[in-house]
Amino acid sequence: MEKQNERDTCCERPRMEDCLSKKIEITVSEAEKRTGRNAMNMQETYTAYLIETRAVESQNEGQCSPVDSLWRRYSEFELLRNYLLVIYPHIVVPPLPEKRADFVWHKLSADNMDPDFVERRRIGLENFLLRVASHPVLCQDNIFYSFLTQEGGWKEMVNETGFQLKADSRLKALNATFRVKNPDKRFTELKHYSDELQSVISHLLRVRARVADRLYGVYKVHGNYGRVFSEWSAIEKEMGDGLQSAGHHMDVYAASIDDILEEEEHYADQLKEYLFYAEALRAVCRKHELMQYDLEMAAQDLTSKKQQCEELATGTVRTFSLKGMTSKLFGQETPEQREAKIKVLEEQIQEGEEQLKSKNLEGRDFVKSAWADIERFKEQKNHDLKEALISYAVMQISMCKKGIQVWTNAKECFSKM
C-alpha cells in the first residue's frame, strides 16, 4: 500500500500555479568567506551563501513582507541535491554550478576562492534554487522548503529520511548497464544523446575559451596604437591633436575587452549548466537500467523455481544440476520430503509472482513519470539554449559595432588633421 501511495504521488502532475516559485521570492544575495573547523577538527576556509526568501502574496496586496534569511555552505547544496536525486529518481534534477572553475581562459582564476568565481557560483546557486522551486514536483518537497527556511537542524532532518540507504551503489549500476538483456530503446537513445550533448557543449566551451584568449590579446594590442599615436602627437604640430584623439579612442577600445569577456562568462555559465544537465539525464537512464535489471532477475528467479517445482512433482530433471547429481549418489528423496519441498517452492513462487507483478507496475509508473519529466526538460532546454545563443550572437554583433565605431572615430580624427 505504501508503494502504491508513492507511485500515486509520483504520477500526479501538480499545477504550475502551485509551484513554490509563485509563492515566495528566492535569492542568493551574497557570499562570505569564512574560517572554521571541519569534521576532523582541522581549520578550513570556506564560502557561505546568504539565502533570502520573501512571500509573494503580501507584496501583491501592497504590503512589504519581511525577508527571511539564512546561510548555507556549498556542501549543504550538494547534500540537498543528492537527497533529491535519490528520492526522485524519475526526475531530471537541476545541476549545481561547478565546484571548481573549468574551461577558463588564461586571465580567469581557477581558484574556488577567487571573488569573480565565487560571484558566478553565487548566481549559479540561485539559479539552482529557482529551478527546483519552479519544478512542479520538486518544489513541493518539505526538505527543500526547510533548506530555504530552517537554518538549524536541517542536516539532521535530511539524514533522518534515510535517503543514503536508498542510494544505488555505482557497482550495482555498472553491473546493470552491462547485464540487462532487454533495455528500453528510448532510454538507450536518451543516454547516447546525453553523452553527445555533453561532448558538443564541452567542445563549444573549449573553442570559446581559446577565442577569448586570442580576442583578449587582439584588444590589448590595440593599446599599442594608443601609445604610438600619443608619442607621435608629441612631435607633430598640425597633426598632434588628431593623433592624440585617435590614440585615446584606441585606449578605450583596448580597455573594453575586460567588460566584454566578463559578460561572455555569463553565457558560458549558461552552457555549463546544460553540460551538467547531461549527467542528470544519465542518472535517470541508469535508474531505469537498474529497475529493468531487477525485473529480469526476478523473472529469471521465478522461472527457475517453477522448473524446480515441476521437476520435484514429476521426478524428472531436465537440466544438469547439483540436485540431480546428489540424487544419483545418495538416492531419491522420500515422498514426504518432496511434498515439503514442493510446498516451500509453491509459497516462494506465489511470493515471486507478486513481486514480479509489483516490479512490472513500478517500472511502468517510472517510465511514465520519467518520460513526462524528460519532455518537460527538453522544452526547457530548447528554450534556454536558443535564448542563450541568440543573446551571445547579439553581444558579438554589438562588440563588432563598437570596433567599427572606434575606427570610424579614429578616421574622423585623422580627417581633421
pLDDT, one tens digit per residue, over 53-72 is 998 875 555 566 778 899 99
**pTM of this structure:** 0.83
Per cent of the chain over pLDDT 70 is 83
HSE-CB at 68 with a 13 A cutoff on CA atoms is: 14
Q: What is the pLDDT of residues 260-313, one digit of tens each?
A: 888 888 888 999 999 999 999 999 999 998 889 888 888 999 898 888 888 877
pLDDT at 27 over 80: yes
Find where cell 569564512 sits.
34
Higher pLDDT, 398 or 169: 398
Task: Determine the Cα–Cα distance for residues 27 and 90; give it in Å rounded to an integer.
Answer: 27
Q: Which of 31-40, 51-60, 400-409 has the highest mean pLDDT?
A: 400-409
Task: Determine the Cα–Cα distance for residues 250 and 244; give it in Å rounded to an integer.
Answer: 10
Task: Determine the Cα–Cα distance for residues 302 and 356; give it in Å rounded to an integer.
Answer: 8
Task: Determine the Cα–Cα distance for residues 281 and 187; give it in Å rounded to an integer.
Answer: 10
Q: What is the pLDDT of residues 226-262, one digit of tens each?
A: 999 999 999 988 899 999 999 999 999 999 988 888 8
pLDDT at position 330 is 45
pLDDT at position 5 is 45
